[in-house]
């Protein structure tokens, strides 16, 4: 047990009452955006009056009434929701209910999840292999290089004529999968995709984040440098002789609880599989378009990798991974490959514009689902939705939008229904191994619906599951190391357990409650939403992995970008350039609460349509994507805004127009 844990135990014993009281009120322990939704779960079987107190002075700044009590079946508790969204004054507060208790402190602030997004991203650097982590970048978590992987053996299951068993290949770089030190293609795939997609969707936001990594001084966005570390490894997992991709690179057994450089057992690449090959195809196709501007040579190579892999999968469509008898590490097995085929086809189609790939994509499959390492069809729809106005005429943008909206609608229905006000738990199987990632991947999907419609309920839905992960859950934990008042301190992460630093590596989201309890540890409860243990022992609830941190980074970054208006002063607004688009106008004007902004693009453009109040503070981001030539109409809802003059600015291809409009309530 770590020193800090023992200390916490003693402290909780001495301060039993206050700590117990904090467990009765559960909310995002980091905080909320001034303009965003703000909700707390309060343990109570009847409605309550709650107050917000300024953390320093204790003075009451807001009083509210909860809704009526409801039972959450996954924790078997009666709870009420305290909604204080209308209170928007920045500061540090606690929520208090007489006779029930007081919450942990939280902030109301712009950019309240900016640090979390950056830290979730930095986690990947901390999990780099084949590299020493220097103190300059890693601080107390500096460590020697682990796993050069310059001498990896071809396992018997992967042997071919050109590469017989025992052949030595080099397969360097990449990120450790999780608490273990192995590298698995299917899990790497969805992780790398989600990070690249975050960049594709919100480039301005991620361009501005400095991760303090060894590449920070080059002229490339740190996120793309970090992702490249893993893409370079993935490329080595393709057999250049036939295009097939090895399923994983692994030791025969999991190592003990040691530092990376102390885990020196032989490593092998194990059999090629269709799932790994298609997953690799999709990721390389995405990489080809994301890196096109910054490294055209790499982009071209990535596309070649993708096309070779696609061809192997066409010739070998049903090679499912079978764990060889002498290999005992993670399996990442999958017997249904239809979603992998769809994902690979969709990404190749988007990148190349070749209709032959579109014909391979099953657009009639209407079930979208939640992204996961085993279920990747939603990733295809997410990519298609982002690029929908820029595809060949073979694809129907309305159908693509409809698929995303239908799925997101299911989630926000649950947000409205759920006792906890979250979509997590819409289905009873949600509390699987890695359940926290399931919550946040629902948010990723809701954010796509928001990007398509700018309807705030999708944004609130996405926020609700992030709140869940950060404290509005039945355990009272904020599930990210180093964030919140009660974060995990003993995750199943070998480096964090074996180093001599009290605190675990920060910015890691643990798997989350899961009632399978396959690791045989002793859990505090069998209730699905409470079956969680902050102990090294609990690899089924307290491990970390690259595929779980990716939606954390995506969601924290996306919400931060969308919710926090970037202050742009009116002096920055330029009106003197000739517009590449026809006059934008809004109607009705004056309006309340909705107006339609209409514009025409004579040519394709990267379009941004933003609304500012007269102080220059951004209040809405209405359009933020590439659009084909055509006529567009966007609805702007101002239900949350005060009467007054607003400015909207339309930018396309570096040129812009600014117009005024009036909201009269
Ligand atoms: O597919 C079945 C489904 O049909 C069934 O209804 C459901 C009922 O629980 O189970 C589903 O299988 C589950 C499978 O994940 C797919 O979701 C298994 O029960 C569950 O045990 C399995 O957990 C996986 C775990 O490895 C054990 O294999 C996790 O998803 C996966 O994230 C985790 O990955 C490990 C790597 O193997 C090694 N590295 C660490 C990493 C994280 O723990
Ligand atoms: O440490 C391993 C973890 O990374 C894996 O996700 C997990 C499931 O495959 O297995 C862990 O290793 C355990 C092994 O499966 C059984 N013996 C105990 C190991 C952890 O100490």
Provide the 3-class DSSP secondary structure of residue 659.
strand
Query: For residue 577, what pLDDT is reported?
Result: 43
CATH number at residue 49: 2.60.40.10
CATH number at residue 553: 1.50.10.10
The answer to whether the beta carbons of residues 285 and 304 sit under 8 Å apart is no
Q: Of 53-57, 272-276, 631-635, which has the strongest mean pLDDT? A: 272-276
CA of 347 to the centre of ligand 2 (A): 34
Residue 293 lies in a domain: yes
What sign for the dihedral angle of Cα 483, 489, 490, 496? positive
The answer to whether the beta carbons of residues 227 and 221 sit under 8 Å apart is no
Number of domains in the chain: 3
432 lines ligand 1 (CB under 6 A): yes
The answer to whether the beta carbons of residues 100 and 21 sit under 8 Å apart is yes
Query: For residue 627, what pLDDT is reported?
Result: 81
Angle at 512 between CA 425 and CA 462, to 5 degrees: 50
Same domain, 422 and 560: yes
Residue 3 lies in a domain: no
**Which has the higher per-residue pLDDT, 665 or 580?**
665
* Residues 6 or more apart whose Cβ sits within 8 Å of residue 617: 565, 567
Mean pLDDT of 376-401: 97
Query: For residue 376, what pLDDT is reported?
Result: 98
Indicate whether 9 pLDDT > 60.
Answer: no
CA of 298 to the centre of ligand 2 (A): 36
Q: DSSP secondary structure string, 485-497?
A: SS--SS-B-HHHH
582 lines ligand 1 (CB under 6 A): no
Same domain, 82 and 135: no
Provide the domain limits for residue 158: 114-564
Kindly report the backbone phi and psi dihedral angles of residue 205, in degrees, each rounded to the nearest multiple of 5, phi listed first. Answer: -65, -50
Residue 456 lies in a domain: yes
Find the helix or strand (DSSP H, E) in which 115 lies.
Answer: helix 114-126
Of the pLDDT bands very low, low, confident and very high (cuts 50, 70, 90), residue 589 is: confident
Query: For residue 651, what pLDDT is reported?
Result: 84
Mean pLDDT of 51-73: 96
Best CA proximity match to 259, nearest among 491, 505, 490, 494: 494
Same domain, 102 and 249: no
Same domain, 93 and 130: no
Same domain, 332 and 428: yes
Same domain, 543 and 418: yes
177 lines ligand 1 (CB under 6 A): yes
Residue 631: beta bridge partners?
600
Pairing of strands 644-652, 605-613: antiparallel
Q: Specify the range with the lowest mean pLDDT, choosing from 401-405, 471-475, 560-564, 640-644.
A: 640-644
Find the helix or strand (DSSP H, E) in which 93 lies.
Answer: strand 91-97
Q: How far apart are CA 520 and CA 538, in angstroms?
A: 8
Q: How far apart are CA 266 and CA 253, in angstroms?
A: 10
Residue finishing a domain among 88, 108, 128: 108
Mean pLDDT of 542-566: 93
The answer to whether the beta carbons of residues 69 and 78 sit under 8 Å apart is yes
- Report the atom number in ligand 1 closest to the C-alpha of 545: 42
Give the tens place of pLDDT for each residue, 423-481. 999 988 999 999 999 999 999 999 999 999 889 999 999 999 999 999 999 999 999 99
Q: How far apart are CA 26 and CA 476, in angstroms?
A: 6
CATH number at residue 653: 2.60.40.2550
Kindly report the backbone phi and psi dihedral angles of residue 87, in degrees, each rounded to the nearest multiple of 5, phi listed first. Answer: -85, 120
Query: For residue 5, what pLDDT is reported?
Result: 46
Residue 1 lies in a domain: no
Of the pLDDT bands very low, low, confident and very high (cuts 50, 70, 90), residue 62 is: very high
Which one of 492, 493, 560, 624 is the catalytic residue? 492
Kindly tell me the burial class for residue 627, based on how many C-beta atoms sit within 10 Å of its own C-beta (0-12, 13-18, 19 or more): middle
Is residue 364 annotated as part of the catalytic site, yes or no? no
Query: For residue 642, what pLDDT is reported?
Result: 85
**Best residue among 185, 187, 433 to mutate for probing ligand 1, ranked by most atoms within 8 Å of CB:** 433
The answer to whether the beta carbons of residues 334 and 328 sit under 8 Å apart is no
Same domain, 165 and 196: yes
CA of 226 to the centre of ligand 1 (A): 27
Residue finishing a domain among 62, 92, 108: 108
Query: For residue 163, what pLDDT is reported?
Result: 98
pTM greater than 0.85: yes
Residue 228 lies in a domain: yes
Indicate whether 491 pLDDT > 90.
Answer: yes
491 lines ligand 1 (CB under 6 A): no
The answer to whether the beta carbons of residues 274 and 340 sit under 8 Å apart is yes
Indicate whether 570 pLDDT > 50.
Answer: no
Same domain, 128 and 167: yes
Q: Which residue's CA is minimally distant from atom 27 of ligand 1?
A: 330
Which one of 543, 560, 624, 656 is the catalytic residue? 543
Of the pLDDT bands very low, low, confident and very high (cuts 50, 70, 90), residue 53 is: very high
> HEC states along 221-234?
CHHHHHHHHHHHHH
Place of tokens 């989350």: 512
Residue 571 lies in a domain: no
Give the tens place of pLDDT for each residue, 399-436. 999 999 999 999 999 999 999 999 999 988 999 999 99
Same domain, 410 and 518: yes
Residue finishing a domain among 70, 88, 108: 108
Query: For residue 21, what pLDDT is reported?
Result: 66
Residue 20 lies in a domain: no
Of the pLDDT bands very low, low, confident and very high (cuts 50, 70, 90), residue 369 is: very high
Residue 569 lies in a domain: no
178 lines ligand 1 (CB under 6 A): yes
Q: Which residue's CA is minimally distant from atom 21 of ligand 1?
A: 433
- Report the atom number in ligand 1 closest to the C-alpha of 547: 32
375 lines ligand 1 (CB under 6 A): no
Q: DSSP secondary structure string, 529-580?
A: GG----STT-TTTSBBBHHHHHHHHHHHHHHHHHHSPPP--GGG----SPPS
Same domain, 535 and 591: no
Query: For residue 584, what pLDDT is reported?
Result: 78
401 lines ligand 2 (CB under 6 A): no
* Residues 6 or more apart whose Cβ sits within 8 Å of residue 139: none
Q: DSSP secondary structure string, 326-365?
A: T--S-----S--HHHHHHHHHHHHHHH--HHHHHHS-TT-
Same domain, 242 and 348: yes
Same domain, 221 and 100: no
> HEC states along 355-387?
HHHHHHCCCCCCCCCCCCCCCCHHHHHHHHHHC
């Amino acid at each position: 047990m770590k020193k800090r844990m023992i200390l916490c135990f003693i402290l909780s014993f001495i301060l039993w009452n206050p700590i117990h009281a904090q467990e009765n009120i559960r909310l995002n322990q980091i905080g909320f955006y001034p303009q965003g939704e703000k909700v707390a779960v309060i343990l109570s079987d009847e409605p309550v009056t709650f107050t917000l107190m300024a953390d320093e002075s204790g003075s009451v700044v807001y009083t509210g009434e909860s809704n009526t009590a409801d039972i959450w079946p996954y924790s078997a508790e009666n709870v009420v929701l305290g909604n204080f969204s209308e209170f928007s004054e920045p500061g540090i507060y606690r929520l208090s209910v007489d006779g029930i208790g007081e919450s942990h402190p939280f902030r109301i602030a712009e950019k309240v999840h900016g640090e979390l997004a950056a830290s979730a991203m930095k986690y990947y650097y901390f999990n780099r292999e084949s590299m020493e982590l220097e103190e300059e970048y890693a601080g107390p978590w500096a460590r020697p290089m682990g796993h050069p992987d310059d001498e990896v053996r071809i396992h018997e299951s992967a042997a071919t004529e050109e590469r017989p068993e025992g052949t030595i290949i080099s397969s360097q770089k990449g990120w450790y999968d999780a608490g273990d030190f192995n590298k698995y293609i299917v899990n790497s795939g969805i992780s790398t995709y989600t990070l690249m997609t975050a960049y594709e969707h919100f480039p301005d936001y991620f361009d501005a984040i400095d991760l303090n990594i060894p590449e920070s001084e080059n002229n490339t966005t740190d996120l793309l440098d970090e992702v490249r570390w893993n893409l370079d490894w993935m490329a080595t997992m393709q057999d250049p002789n036939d295009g097939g991709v090895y399923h994983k690179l692994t030791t025969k057994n999991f190592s003990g609880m040691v530092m990376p450089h102390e885990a020196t057992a032989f490593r092998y690449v194990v059999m090629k599989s269709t799932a790994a090959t298609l997953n690799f195809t999709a990721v390389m196709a995405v990489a080809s378009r994301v890196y096109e501007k910054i490294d055209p040579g790499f982009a071209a190579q990535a596309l070649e990798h993708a096309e070779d892999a696609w061809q192997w999968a066409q010739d070998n469509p049903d090679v499912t991974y079978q764990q060889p008898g002498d290999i005992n590490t993670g399996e990442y097995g999958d017997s249904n490959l239809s979603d992998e085929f769809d994902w690979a086809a969709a990404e190749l189609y988007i990148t190349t514009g070749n209709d032959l790939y579109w014909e391979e994509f099953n657009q009639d499959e209407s079930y979208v689902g939640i992204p996961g390492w085993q279920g990747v069809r939603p990733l295809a729809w997410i990519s298609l939705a982002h690029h929908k106005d820029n595809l060949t005429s073979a694809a129907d943008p309305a159908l693509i939008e409809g698929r995303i909206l239908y799925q997101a609608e299911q989630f926000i229905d649950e947000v409205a229904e759920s006792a906890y006000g979250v979509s997590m738990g819409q289905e009873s199987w949600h509390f699987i191994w890695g359940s926290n990632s399931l919550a946040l991947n629902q948010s990723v999907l809701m954010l796509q619906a928001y990007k398509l419609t700018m309807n705030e309920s999708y944004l609130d839905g996405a926020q609700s599951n992030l709140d869940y992960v950060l404290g509005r859950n039945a355990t009272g934990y904020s599930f990210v190391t180093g964030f919140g008042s009660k974060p995990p301190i003993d995750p199943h992460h070998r480096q964090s357990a074996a180093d001599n630093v009290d605190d675990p590596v920060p910015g890691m989201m643990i798997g989350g409650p899961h009632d399978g309890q396959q690791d045989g540890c002793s859990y505090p409860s069998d209730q699905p939403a409470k079956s969680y243990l902050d102990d090294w022992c609990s690899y089924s609830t307290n491990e970390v992995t690259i595929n779980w941190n990716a939606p954390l980074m995506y969601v924290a970054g996306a919400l931060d970008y969308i919710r926090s208006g970037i202050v742009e002063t009116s002096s920055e607004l330029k009106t003197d350039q000739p517009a590449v688009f026809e006059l934008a106008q809004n109607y009705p004007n004056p309006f309340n609460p909705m107006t339609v902004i209409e514009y025409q693009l004579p040519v394709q453009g990267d379009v941004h349509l933003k609304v500012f109040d007269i102080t220059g503070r951004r209040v809405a981001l209405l359009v933020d994507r590439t659009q084909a030539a055509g006529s567009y109409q966007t609805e702007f809802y101002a239900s949350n805004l005060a009467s007054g003059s607003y400015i909207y600015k339309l930018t396309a291809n570096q040129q812009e127009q600014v117009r005024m409009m009036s909201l009269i309530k």
